[in-house]
Chain A
C-alpha cells in the first residue's frame, strides 16, 4: 500500500457513491428501519494530490444525514443537482432525497417514484444522468425498465419489453443509449428515441444455470465515452467476461477470478472499472477481500486470472466471523485509490501499489 485508512461506520453500508464536490454517500441497509443516509466529506488527504501521511485532518466528516425506514440497497446521486435517489425492498419504488448542506445538515425525503404493479417486486436498480434533464433510469425486471424525470416525477420513457426476467444492472451509455443486464447475464441495448424495445446485444455467456450475473460499473466522468469501454460482467461463481459493444457478440476477454469455493452468496457482488487506469477492474463481494485485476493480459479462455493486488484489510478488522465486503468504488481522480465497505461497518480507503513495482 502507499496509503491505508480504516474507518468504522456506525452501521454497515452496501453503497458508496460519489456526490457533488467529492462527497461520498453511504447508507444503512438494516431491516428494522432507522437507517441513516450519510453524506460524508472525505479528509483532505483524499482530496490532496500528494499523500500526506500525518495530515492533521484525517477523518471523514458527516456533512449531512437523513433517515430511511427502508433498507437502502442502491443509492445514486443525480448529477448537477443536490438530489439523491435510493431504492430498496420491499418494492421497486424509488425515494428521492434533497441534500441542502448550506441550510441544515438533514437530508430530507422529497418524493417517491412509484411504479405500476410495483409492490412485491424486487428492488429497483438505478442509474442517473443529467443530460437533458435530471433523469433516473430504474427497473427491477426487463419489462419494468423506465426513465423518470426526477424533479417532477414524470415518466419520460418506458422500455417496451415482455420479458419478465430480473434485472441485475443498468446504465446510461450516453444520454440516449441504455444498457441493461439481466440476472442471467444477457446484455441488451436500447435507444430511448426508438419506439422498439431493448435489443438483445449479447447473449448470456456460457455458464451453468443458476448463476447470477452482475454488470460492471464505471464511475468515470460523463462524456468520457463510456461506450468505448468494454462491458464487464461478473458471475456469482467468479467468471468475468468482457465484451466490446461495438464488436458484439464475440467475447473480448474472459477470466475467472480467484474466489473461495464455498460461495458466500451473490448478495454483494460488485465489479467496477478503474476510471484512470486502463484495463484495470476491481471485484469484491465473495469474501472479505477486494481483488484488482489487469485485464489487458486476458484472453478468451476463461482461465483463472491472477489479481495484481488483493486488499485483505476487512478480513482482519475484528473478531468473530470475517466480514463480507459489501461494495467498493474507485476514486474518480486518484488512479489507485479505492474505497471499500464491509458487513462489519468498516470503511477502508486504500491506495495500492503493484507489488512487482510496475506502477
Chain B
C-alpha cells in the first residue's frame, strides 16, 4: 500500500519549534523550520541529522515550506540553509517573505550582540537564505517539479500566515501551521476548501484551551490603560512592526473617541512608515473591514494617534506610546522604558512572547532590578503587565477545520504528550478518521489508497461482459488483462492486443514430465491401463484414448513409451501447457502413485 510518512523534528509533543518532514509518493518536503526560543544551545535547532548524517540536504529534500514569520516556524531557516546546507526552493507567502528577514535579523542581533553567542547565523546568511525563497500567492497552484505541486490557503493568525496543500498525483497532505478560525480586528479566519486530503497535519497546542473572550481581554486592557492615564502615568506598549499593533491602535482610537479622552497617543515613526508600506503591499491579506477603511482613508491616519518624536518621552503628563522593538531589547522602546521605569505611576504592557535574555523577558519574569550597559542598575518601579492577543485554534476551531477539509486522516502536532487522548477520541468519534500524535523523531506512516485511473479497451470489456453476468456497479469485479503503461497513460487491454501493439509474438510454454512405472507389458497395454485408471478416477474430466495410443485428459497429453534400457519400466510422458499447470501437476502426482494392479 502506498504510504505517507510524517516525522516531526520539532513540535511533536514539544512546543517551541515546528519542523516536520513529510514523505509523499517519493517526494520529501520539510514543513517549517522553527527555532526553539527556550534553549540557548543546539537544542534550539531541529535535529537535521535525522535526514542525513553529513553533507548538504539539497539532495534529500524537494522543497521547504514556511507557514508564517513567527520565529518558532522560521527561526532556524538561515542555519538550515546556510550552515547545514540546502540550495533547493523555499516557499512562503509574499508577506512572510517580506517580514521574515526583519525578524530573523532582530533575533540575530539579540543573540549575537547581546548574548555574545558565536555559533549563530550571520546577517549575510539571512540574505543568502532569502535569495532561495520563492514567494507564492493564495490559492495559486505552484509546480515544484513535474509531480509535486503546492497551494497556499489563508490561515489568519498573523499577516501572511498560510496553510499549505502538498499534492503528488492524487495523494495530498494539508499542513496548517498556526491558524485561527475566528476572525479578529485585522485578520480574517482561516479557510480551506473541501480538498479531502489523505492527511491533515494540524497544530493542537491550544486545543485544550477555552479562551477568555476577546471582549474581556480588550476591556481589561483598556481599563489598565485608562487607569494609568487617569492618574497621570505613561503607558509604553512595545510592539513588532505589524499585526497586533494595528489592532490595539484601532481599539484605543475607538475608546478614546467614546470616552472623550485627551491624553496623547503616539506611534513611533519608523513603525508607521513600515507598517503602512506593508499594509499597502498586502492589503488582500487583511480582513474585509480593514480593507474598506483603508480604501477610505490611510491606515494610520488616526484622529488621536500621532507620530512620535523622541523628545516627547520627556514631556510631563500622561501619554500612551507604541514603540519598537517588541521585546524591549534595543532601540526606541528600550530608550523610553529606561526613562519611564523609575516612576510607579507608569505602566508597560508587553504584547507577547519575549525571548530569553531580553529586557522584556526579564521584567515579565518578575525581575525589578536590571543591569544595563556600563554596569548601571535600573530599578523598575513601573507596573509591568502582559497581554496576549495572539490567536490560535482551539478544539472547536480544529473540529471546524476538519469539517471543512474532510481529510481521511488527521495528525496532531502539539505540546503535551499524553494529554491529547481526549481530542484524539473526539476527532475519531465525530469524523470516523484515524488520528495520530507522533513524538519528536517518531515517524508515523499513513496508508493511503489512491485510485489510479486506467482506460480499458472496449474489446476487453465486451469479452468480460460475455463471460459472466452483468457486473454490479457497487461490487468490485476481477478482470484479467494486460496493463500497458505508455507515455502518461494507463490502458488495460487483452493480452492479444497488447502483443500486437508491442509487436511481440505469443509464445507457448509446454511442460513435459516423465513418470516411471513398473510394467513389463507392451506400451499400448500400459497405455490402456493408464487410460482405464484415469477414466475411473477422473470422472469429471474428459479422458480420451486416441487411436495412436496416447491419452488425453482435457488438453493434457500422456504417452507411454518404453524405457530405453529397462524393459520392465515404462515411461509416461505427461505434457501440458502453462495454462494447465494445476491439472498437469495433479496428474503427475497421481500417476506417480502408480497404477492399480488389476486392469481391464
Residues from chain B with a CB closer than 8 A to the CB of A106 are 421-422, 425
Nearest A residue to B211 by beta-carbon distance? A59
A4 within 8 A of B: yes
A54 contacts B429, C-beta separation under 8 Å: no
A43 contacts B212, C-beta separation under 8 Å: yes
Smallest CB separation, B446 vs chain A (Å): 23
Interface residues on B, range: 20 to 34
**Which of A6-14, A116-124, A266-274 is the contact stretch?**
A6-14
Within 8 A of A (CB), among B375-424: 385-388, 395-396, 399, 418-423
Most chain A beta-carbon neighbours within 10 Å: one of B208, B211, B349, B388: B208
Q: A5-B212, A62-B208, A105-B419 are in contact. Are A10 and B396 (CB under 8 A)?
A: yes
Expressed in whole angstroms, the Cα–Cα distance for A26 and B556 within the complex equals: 78
Residues from chain A with a CB closer than 8 A to the CB of B422 are 62, 64-66, 105-107
B418 contacts A59, C-beta separation under 8 Å: no
A34 contacts B396, C-beta separation under 8 Å: no
Interface of A, helix, strand, loop or mixed by DSSP: strand
B220 within 8 A of A: yes
Smallest CB separation, A251 vs chain B (Å): 41
B386 contacts A5, C-beta separation under 8 Å: no
Q: A34-B430, A54-B387 are in contact. Are A105 and B212 (CB under 8 A)?
A: no
A5 contacts B216, C-beta separation under 8 Å: yes
Residues from chain B with a CB closer than 8 A to the CB of A43 are 212
Q: Mark A16-57, 1 if CB is under 8 A from B, else 0.
A: 000000000000000000101000100100000000011110
A229 within 8 A of B: no
Query: Using a Cβ–Cβ cut-off of 8 Å, how many residues does chain A contribute to the interface with B?
Result: 31
Expressed in whole angstroms, the Cα–Cα distance for A105 and B212 within the complex equals: 22
A105 contacts B213, C-beta separation under 8 Å: no
B425 contacts A7, C-beta separation under 8 Å: no
Residues from chain A with a CB closer than 8 A to the CB of B223 are 53
Contact of A58 among B212, B385, B396, B419 (CB under 8 A): B212
Expressed in whole angstroms, the Cα–Cα distance for A36 and B396 within the complex equals: 13
Residues from chain B with a CB closer than 8 A to the CB of A6 are 212-213, 215-216
Residues from chain A with a CB closer than 8 A to the CB of B423 are 65
Expressed in whole angstroms, the Cα–Cα distance for A134 and B65 within the complex equals: 56
Residues from chain A with a CB closer than 8 A to the CB of B388 are 56
B395 contacts A59, C-beta separation under 8 Å: no
Expressed in whole angstroms, the Cα–Cα distance for A13 and B213 within the complex equals: 18
A34 contacts B213, C-beta separation under 8 Å: no
Q: A7-B210, A34-B429, A105-B420 are in contact. Are A58 and B217 (CB under 8 A)?
A: yes
A103 within 8 A of B: yes
Smallest CB separation, A265 vs chain B (Å): 28
A36 contacts B421, C-beta separation under 8 Å: no
A4 contacts B210, C-beta separation under 8 Å: no
Smallest CB separation, B37 vs chain A (Å): 15
B426 within 8 A of A: yes
The 12 listed contacts between A and B (C-beta, < 8 Å) are A4-B216, A7-B210, A8-B211, A53-B224, A54-B220, A54-B386, A58-B216, A60-B209, A62-B208, A65-B423, A105-B421, A347-B210
B residues near A (Cβ < 8 Å) are 207-213, 215-217, 219-221, 223-224, 349, 364, 385-388, 395-396, 399, 418-423, 425-426, 429-430
